[in-house]
Amino acid sequence: MNLVIREALLAFRRAPLLSALSVTTIAFSLFVVGLFGLVAVNLQQALRDVAERVEIVAYLLPGAPIETITLAEKDIEAFPEVQAAAYVSEDQALDRARAELVEFRDVLQELERNPLPASIEVKLKPRFRDVEHVNEVAERLRGFGFVDDVRFGRDWVANVDRLRQIAAAVGLVVGAAFAVVAIIIIGTTIRMAVLQRSREIAIMRLVGATDGFVRRPFLLQGALKGMLGGLAAVALSYGAYALINRWLIHAEFFSREQAVAIVGFGMLIGFFGSAASVGRHLRRI
């Protein structure tokens, strides 16, 4: 085994330029994928933030008995789609209005009678925050006798929904395209490395090396180059993220798992790219 490691490392020393070129190519290919991934991650995050605000408000008829409402609140919380339901009394509504609507504070101060209705604010679980489920829950809320009216941003919900679908579709297609381009470019550089050593491979085979023996150092070397390229890509992405975060907009970076996935992806491409190149080469000689 340590012979394999030695031969794999020897290739870096023997062809430093070509090795550096492979690593750089892998790094930049994955960097492009990574940049795109950053956009996707941040878009998802932004949409999640927006979706977070999807809320259904059921306004209650005046004079509904509080016991009934408390019971109903429990029922609503038991809906499978519902994450939380909160009762907001008339007084709480007024307090909130006073706090939030500073411009109208004077008007609100001088009211003799509270014009605001009590309400139940319903928040859905993340995976139910789409048009159909919002509609469904709203419909069920209307069924309660003490509910006067149900409001939610219908268009808003529909838009977020559509945006999310577009983002997912574009993400999949563009991400896959970038990944394929990266694989092709990386495969080509690895192939160059194999061809550069074709004389050596021929000699190895002449003196009785098995295909496996010839292949192993290349696989290890490919995986190593892929890993280095992946690490460099994550570093480059972090640099880009730091710049954007500082000068443009507040952004999110990859989670640890996503960063590891990029490095792992690099390793896999390096490994399988080498396997394909060496395999093809060995079949020809």
Where does this chain bind other proteins (CB under 8 A)?
Answer: 3, 14, 199-200, 202-211, 213
Nearest-approach distance from CB 8 to other proteins, in angstroms: 14
Q: What is the CA radius of gyration of the chain?
A: 30
Nearest-approach distance from CB 189 to other proteins, in angstroms: 21
Nearer to other proteins by Cβ, of 256 and 284: the residue is 284
Nearer to other proteins by Cβ, of 140 and 215: the residue is 215
Nearest-approach distance from CB 190 to other proteins, in angstroms: 20
For Cα atoms 65, 101, 87, give the angle at the middle one, nearest 5 degrees: 25
Cα–Cα distance measured from residue 264 to residue 231, given in angstroms and rounded to the nearest whole number:
9
The separation between the first and the last C-alpha atoms of the chain, rounded to the nearest angstrom, is 25
DSSP 237-264: HHHHHHHHHHHT----PPPHHHHHHHHH
Nearer to other proteins by Cβ, of 20 and 166: the residue is 20
- Residue 216 corresponds to which tokens in the numbers above? 């192993």
Nearer to other proteins by Cβ, of 143 and 208: the residue is 208
Nearer to other proteins by Cβ, of 39 and 282: the residue is 282
Nearest-approach distance from CB 7 to other proteins, in angstroms: 9
Task: Report yes or no: 158 and 164 within 8 Å, Cβ to Cβ.
Answer: no
Nearest-approach distance from CB 2 to other proteins, in angstroms: 9
Nearer to other proteins by Cβ, of 1 and 102: the residue is 1
The residue among 218, 283, 202, 232 whose CA lies nearest residue 15 is: 218
Nearest-approach distance from CB 10 to other proteins, in angstroms: 9
Task: Report yes or no: 278 and 272 within 8 Å, Cβ to Cβ.
Answer: no
